[in-house]
Structure formats: C-alpha cells, structure tokens
Amino acid sequence: MSNRQIFTPKEYISHHLQHLQLDLRNLKIVNPHHIIHSPWILNLDSIFFSFFLGIVFIFFFYITAKKSFNTYPNKLQISIELIINFVNKNVKEIFLCKNNLIAPLSLTIFVWVLLMNSMDLIPIDLIPFLSKKIFNISTLRIVPTADINITLSMSLGVFCLILYYSLKIKGIIGFLKELFLQPFNNPIFFIFNFILEFINLLSKPISLGLRLFGNMYSGEMIFILISSFIPWWLQWIINIPWAIFHILVIILQSFVFMILTIVYLSMALRKH
C-alpha cells in the first residue's frame, strides 16, 4: 500500500517521519504538518507501542510460566525457555557478582527491545492506513526504538542503576576516588582524571541510546525510501532481501543493548 498518488516522494518521506504528538501545555494533538521539538511535547505513538509491546511481553511470559509444569511443553514455551537460558548464560559469564536484579533486567531489556525493533518489519503503510480508516489518524510511527526519546529514556534508566550501585557498593568516598584518582593516582592529575572519568561515565548512556536509535532509524528510513521511489509491484524485490538482513540487525541490537547493560552494571558493582 502506498500513498504516492497523494504525496510526492519528499512529502511521503516527511509524512512517515512525523510522530503523533501531544502538547502537554494545552492537551491538544499537534498539527501533523508541524514538527515540534519541546520538553512539553509527547510522542504518543512511540509511548503507546512501547507500553503495548511491554504488555505483550509480560502476557506471553506469564501465560508460559503458568503452564511451565506441563509434561509436554509447546513451541512457545520451548522458545521462551531458550531465550531465558540464553540470557542467563550471558549474565553468568559476564556478571561475576551476585545480584537478583540483573538477570530479570537483562531478560526484560532483550525481549522488550527485540519486540520494539521487530515492528520495523511490518509494512510501513499498513498500520497508518488502518489507523486512518478507524481513528482518522494518519500520522503514526510504529517503531519505538526509531525514536531517540525512547532509546535515551531506556539508557537513562540503566544510567540511574549504574549510579545507584556505584554509590551503594563503593560509597560516596569510593565513587569520588574513582573519578579523581583514575587513571593517574597523583594529585597533579586530579582535574584531568575527573574530566576523563566524567566523560567516560556520561558516554555510557549516550552511546547506549544513540547506537540503538541510529541503527533502527536507518533501517526504517531504508524501508521508507524503497516504498517512496519504487513502484509497489517491484518493492518486494528489494524489501525481502533487506528485511532478511534487517532481522539480523534487530536481534543484534537487542543483544548489544543487553550485553552493554550487563557490562556497565558489572563495572559499577566492582570495587577497585
């Protein structure tokens, strides 16, 4: 399905890059023809699909857990058990400390990010078309991880955990010592050490969020370009190979986000 009979390629691309936005100052939907960047603007589509996919994740895992004592597990249960064993193995290999939060957190991150990334495989015009017919809403983006607000929010949550465990395990004095006494344990280099360590600390959530956003945004953009410049009856020739390759990107980015979270929290719990 393509709207190129209504939009020029430029308008088509611009249309698909616009969010369904809510202005908190007056509680009104923002004009879809105006892109607004403000702390008072919420991207409703990204928030909705993030929560929806989170509920899907919880629902299927809860149902599977309730039926986990069956003698003959079904394919869904086997798949979920494989995912849990995969995550648990990585946590045990990387996270050497004992903590009851890390494994559930890693599982949540991996599956949740994987589901959000997988929305990129849905035809870009399908859900906006249905939304237009049912709710009269045509401006809609369905890939939450292609929204930098979502990815940075997730990485900010990980960053808060890094600070929490750093202060809990090392104390304020130990945490400040790491900032001022590394890598050169000499009073002359206190300021230099602080600048290096402070930048290193801030780079963790920024790189974590931007890496995921950049990969998913570029993948979404390629699907939009294919749909906008190629006739609909030829799109499958490029869409199918790109979608197959993009599946690897979707899984890899979910894995990288999970692994880096485990590594960063492992570093936070480690005493020097």
pLDDT of residue 1: 40
Higher-confidence position of 114 and 234 = 114
Region 68-72 average pLDDT: 68
Q: Is 25 a catalytic site residue?
A: no
Region 41-66 average pLDDT: 92
**How far is it, in rounded angstroms, from Cα 21 to Cα 147?**
12
pLDDT of residue 217: 95
Nearest of 53, 246, 88, 95 to residue 80 by alpha carbon: 88
pLDDT of residue 7: 67
Task: Indicate whether 38 pLDDT > 80.
Answer: no
Which residue is catalytic, options 2, 4, 131, 211?
Answer: 211
Q: Do the Cβ atoms of 41 and 21 come closer than 8 Å?
A: yes
Region 225-252 average pLDDT: 86
Where residue 170 falls among pLDDT bands split at 50, 70, 90? confident
Q: Do the Cβ atoms of 137 and 18 come closer than 8 Å?
A: no
Task: Indicate whether 137 pLDDT > 60.
Answer: yes
Q: Is 215 a catalytic site residue?
A: yes
> How confident is the prediction for the chain on average, in pLDDT?
87
Parse the chain into domains and list their residue ranges.
Answer: 47-268
**How far is it, in rounded angstroms, from Cα 269 to Cα 246?**
35
Task: Indicate whether 74 pLDDT > 50.
Answer: yes
Which residue is catalytic, options 215, 227, 228, 254?
Answer: 215
pLDDT of residue 100: 87
pLDDT per position as a tens digit, 79-132: 899 999 999 999 999 988 788 899 999 999 999 999 999 999 998 888 988 988
CA angle 34, 122, 88 (to 5 degrees): 110
Nearest of 68, 260, 92, 74 to residue 161 by alpha carbon: 260
CA 140 to chain centre: 18
Which residue is catalytic, options 70, 88, 207, 218?
Answer: 207
